[in-house]
């Protein structure tokens, strides 16, 4: 059986070249030098559809803040980010805190790796994280966050284990 997530060596992504060249300012020679790993990542966009970065967003929801950290986040507040790592202030109600947001970069690295395999970018392992700032209480008062992915159009959480363009199109 052929692995559907493997780009065959002869697959030069002809169907995607015009859009990718324009978006990334690549010449024909640049495109010809793309590594198999990069081509696999672009091929994931073929499987998921070209709009998957716009179809989903990441939500960081504060679930506890026992020590009342200095940035003032409170349980129930949220920070919403696009899949392109930009904070969406119109959808966010938590104060921005660099300490609280610093772990989100690792979450984004993982989302792109998993999405390139056609999997839901957020696994049960990555559903929670703590603020990395420890105080005199050795971290007992850290804010804790829940992270989840949701659809941008309905704001419904995405729980499917495997993402496909068909699933994205059929979602409410």
Distances 115 to 97, 125, 132 between C-alpha atoms, Å:
27, 16, 26
Average pLDDT along the chain: 78
Q: Is residue 37 located within the same domain as residue 106?
A: no
Q: Is residue 107 located within the same domain as residue 135?
A: yes
Distance CA 52, CA 119 (A): 12
Distance CA 23, CA 55 (A): 18
Q: Does any domain span residue 1?
A: no
Q: Is residue 85 located within the same domain as residue 35?
A: no
Q: Does any domain span residue 63?
A: yes
Q: Is residue 39 located within the same domain as residue 63?
A: no
Q: Is residue 96 located within the same domain as residue 159?
A: yes
Domain span at residue 129?
A: 54-170
Q: Is residue 107 located within the same domain as residue 132?
A: yes
Q: Domain count for the chain, please give it.
A: 2
Q: Does any domain span residue 2?
A: no
Higher pLDDT, 124 or 58: 58
Residue 81 pLDDT = 93
Portion of the chain with pLDDT greater than 90, in percent: 19
Place of tokens 């990718």: 20
Q: Is residue 25 located within the same domain as residue 78?
A: no
Q: Does any domain span residue 6?
A: no
Q: Is residue 46 located within the same domain as residue 60?
A: no
pTM beyond 0.85: the answer is no
Residue 117 pLDDT = 64
Q: Does any domain span residue 163?
A: yes
Q: Does any domain span residue 11?
A: no
Q: Which of 17-31, 65-79, 83-97, 120-134 shows the lowest per-residue confidence on average (mean pLDDT)?
A: 120-134
């Amino acid at each position: 059986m052929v692995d559907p997530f493997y780009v065959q060596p002869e697959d030069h992504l002809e169907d995607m070249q015009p859009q990718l060249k324009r978006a990334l300012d690549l010449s024909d020679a640049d495109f010809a030098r793309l590594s198999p790993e990069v081509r696999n990542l672009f091929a994931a966009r073929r499987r998921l559809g070209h709009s998957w970065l716009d179809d989903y967003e990441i939500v960081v929801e504060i679930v506890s803040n026992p020590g009342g950290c200095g940035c003032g986040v409170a349980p129930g507040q949220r920070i919403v980010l696009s899949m392109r790592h930009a904070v969406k202030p119109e959808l966010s109600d938590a104060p921005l805190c660099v300490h609280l947001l610093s772990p989100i970069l690792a979450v984004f690295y993982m989302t792109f790796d998993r999405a390139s395999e056609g999997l839901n970018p957020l696994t049960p392992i990555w559903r929670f994280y703590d603020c990395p700032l420890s105080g005199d209480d050795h971290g007992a008062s850290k804010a804790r966050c829940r992270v989840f992915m949701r659809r941008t159009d309905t704001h419904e959480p995405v729980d499917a284990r495997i993402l496909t363009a068909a699933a994205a199109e059929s979602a409410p």
